[in-house]
Amino acid sequence: QVQPVESGGGLVQAGGSLRLSCAASGRTFSNYAMGWFCQAPWKERKFVAAIDRSGSSTYYADSVKGRFTISRDNAKNMVYLQMNSLKPEDTAVYYCAVAERSWYSLRYDPNDYASWGQGTQVTVSS
């Protein structure tokens, strides 16, 4: 089973950048698509970005398209989320997640993900 652990969150001014990392344990990491989600206080968890098993295909929420980039390094069992041009509305806890099934590709529904990290806080000040 693949278990993710996020890092890299912090406080940044609007317009700034952060790079989130997700270290995923387990020898079958490269068999699963991965996703990033975020959850602001009092709001539902929402999709941010997804990447397929090989890293050749990605999918983004409209709100982050052109600003965020998801990538993965299967040799290191790592997934990244490069966040540029950050806005105060990006403030949330960001979670890395592993697709529930090995044949799942680019999914935006949180129910299609089985393993979640503990989350990392991103705060963007205006």
Residue pLDDT, tens place only, 61-117: 999 999 999 999 999 999 999 999 999 999 999 999 999 988 888 999 999 999 999
**Own/partner pairs for 59-67, CB < 8 Å, 24+ apart?**
59/106, 59/108, 61/108, 63/89, 64/90
Query: Percent of the chain having pLDDT more than 90?
Result: 88
83 close to 17: Cβ distance less than 8 angstroms = yes
Distances (CA, A) of 40 to 37, 74, 77, 95: 10, 29, 27, 11
d(CA 22, CA 39): 17
What digits encode the pLDDT tens for the residues 14-35? Answer: 999 999 999 998 878 889 999 9
The pLDDT assigned to 43 comes to: 95
d(CA 110, CA 40): 15
